[in-house]
Structure 1
């Protein structure tokens, strides 16, 4: 059998991508500041992007000083000037470039990306992000679980909703949305599905947790010719799901009448579409274990996966695979310090989130590249397996990524790149087989986990 390898490492790929992309998306980068970035100044668009990647969680002054040190270049601008320039950079451009980069990488390495039964396994989920507690951010994002009229309103944290489309096997984010904490997760999920169908060619299975089931999403996925698995709450389509016993796997033809579509009465077109459509859906009540009283723990799943191709055990495996997104969110928040923002302004918050997601993808792809080049030899049979240490990969990339990418000194550049690759390839960690997600560690976000200047 012919062995294929990844075309190149993610560091090389982003090195080749960014110069052209920063020119191609220049008008989007300018956003509401059409006169910005029009002349050659001390600070280029690329410098701003690179510094977003290079954020280490220090003071604004220290972050800028460290950045120029990584470039092996004399600092020619104050931190005030730097962050004023960053505020003119439209963060949406960073999100668009990050999405295009990961889509291009998948296209160029389609045969090498991990798949399950020839499909990518994707998960949609959201997470609340604690934000700097300012009146401006309160007005933009809102406070978590708080009504403006409640007595404890001011004690609730300001937060936003981060929603992502996550590749469960390759540990990458294929799309990201961020907005007010009251944003609709289902709306973001619909946008993720559209983004995937427009930008990726691999067939996929979408897995969604019990907060997402809706006939709009079911209809969208079916019309997009995508497979899906929803974890259902007991209230969803209960007239049908109540017929299913624990351990049972059944295909049911779902129809709707006027009464069962009352929730869609504000959307006459979709309501009529529902009443004129029969949905053939598969419902499975999986027994996934027993509780402390030895009673069965049952999960209800809804899918459109063919029974003759995907068994109940396959569905159980898919159900467990989706939990890798919880591990990824934990790494973003607690290892990459996502909530330690460059400043309190919403523009900087959006930039930091999109830059961290992009850097996370680069780290994951570098680990895949290391796995592709040097296979891990499992030295013993047992309940533990060896994997490459993601947390140490974060550390080495935070330290040397910019030096490897763009240092003005070629020897420094080559040395940093070799150290990154050697460290990622050489640092292994034992992981218990079948563990769905990393152990949770209590973390209390600092009330000043951001820089107060901007």
Structure 2
């Protein structure tokens, strides 16, 4: 299936009764039944374009692109948009992203590593551009975003918002239904604990996590670090009884493999993994394996700074959930277009697609793509533009940034 057919399949699903039943808010069971100026598929498409400007400017640009005009077109007002989105269920856009991921997997666009689907998991703190309001169910300013990212396909498998004080381990546990045999989770230093390791092993989910804390953490890890060994199979203490009950962990000690990786700059990383087969997974592969986790950091950077993730278009928690899910889906569409452009242009390994330009080039075409109006010629022209904007990738290049306060947008200052 080429990319045009994939987008057509996505547009057909967006217009289907199955998606309509998922998209209706529980409080509005009859929503999107009548023919409106802003039907369900157009509402979703306008959100997925990645709203970074004022709502009215984005809507006028959306309908201008839909009518193939260079000028803005006033078709619906921001007030009508707000009324329509209030009837859209928070699960609608994540469900649409799940359908996109399934289409990508069914068409071979999610590569495997040694037969495993690599998934990088991490959380990111958000400070949303909100103001004081009296809207019902207003959103909180500070939130935690947990992402499950497919580095080999550059696609966000799933992403979820939580309150700022929510634990990342608990948030990851709530995503376990998405994982299974054949998945390999890549986790940073904030995740290792006995109950999480036990829960992963109990579900048959493979993992690779960094555990090189010098003064805290597991005693066996500290002993392995001091030993100088390249690898060792060790036994972790059993999870606490309360954790076994709460998280349905298996009882008893846990066998894991510890691997030592020395970076080019001489720093040592200790990795804990469930991949016990030393012939299939030698020590030498774990440096590159763990490095793939960094791709989720780049994904959050794109979402925050290229797609203005913290610059929301509504004050309610529902609007924030919709914005978050829509921008994740927008980034995934750009990833699919970038991969297709790379393949069609036969780029060498050291050339990478400029993802910021890819998003800019694809945005005017997203309305037609999601409404089933785009032709193969239109998409081919955009892919050619995307494939022409590349940069040279330099492996091992590091540009540490000096620590400074992170910029956070204000609600009243949006892009023109």
- 1:127-156 deviations in Å (ceiling 9; x for gaps): 1122133446998665xxxxxxxxxxxxxx
Taking structure 1 as reference, are residues 407 and 219 closer, same or farther at Cα in structure 2, changes over 3 Å only? closer
Q: Answer yes or no: is the 8 Å Cα contact 2:104–2:110 preserved in 1.
A: no
Q: Answer yes or no: is the 8 Å Cα contact 2:354–2:389 preserved in 1.
A: yes
The TM-score, its normalising length taken from structure 2, stands at: 0.86
Matched, 1:391 2:356: yes
Alignment equivalent of 1:253, drawn from 210, 232, 235: 235
Q: CA deviation at 1:184?
A: 1.9
Matched, 1:98 2:97: yes
Q: CA deviation at 1:51?
A: 0.6
Q: CA deviation at 1:164?
A: 0.8
Q: Which has the higher contact order (CA 8 A, sep 6+)?
A: 2
- 1:186-244 deviations in Å (ceiling 9; x for gaps): 122123332133xxx8x232110111112332223223323211111346652222221
Alignment equivalent of 1:205, drawn from 184, 207, 216: 184
Q: CA deviation at 1:248?
A: 3.3
- 1:26-60 deviations in Å (ceiling 9; x for gaps): 23322222232122222211010111022442222
| Partner residue in 1 for 2:154 | 171
Matched, 1:61 2:78: no
| Partner residue in 2 for 1:382 | none
- 1:302-337 deviations in Å (ceiling 9; x for gaps): 111122322222111112111111111111111122
Taking structure 1 as reference, are residues 186 and 77 closer, same or farther at Cα in structure 2, changes over 3 Å only? same
Matched, 1:180 2:166: no
| Partner residue in 2 for 1:130 | 127
Task: State how far apart, in whole Å, the 1-side matches of 2:184 and 2:286 are.
Answer: 11
**Number of matched residues?**
402
Q: Which deviates the most, 356-365 or 184-193? A: 184-193
Taking structure 1 as reference, are residues 124 and 99 closer, same or farther at Cα in structure 2, changes over 3 Å only? same
Q: CA deviation at 1:288?
A: 2.3
Alignment equivalent of 2:335, drawn from 357, 364, 386: 364
Q: Answer yes or no: is the 8 Å Cα contact 1:231–1:301 preserved in 2.
A: yes
| Partner residue in 2 for 1:145 | none
Matched, 1:214 2:213: no
| Partner residue in 2 for 1:303 | 273
Which ranges of structure 2 fall in alignment gaps of 5 or more residues? none
Which ranges of structure 1 fall in alignment gaps of 5 or more residues? 1-6, 143-157, 291-295, 379-384
Q: CA deviation at 1:394?
A: 1.2
- Per the alignment, in what secondary structure is the counterpart of residue 179 of structure 1? strand
- Per the alignment, in what secondary structure is the counterpart of residue 103 of structure 1? helix
| Partner residue in 2 for 1:121 | 118
Q: CA deviation at 1:180?
A: 1.2
Taking structure 1 as reference, are residues 363 and 247 closer, same or farther at Cα in structure 2, changes over 3 Å only? farther
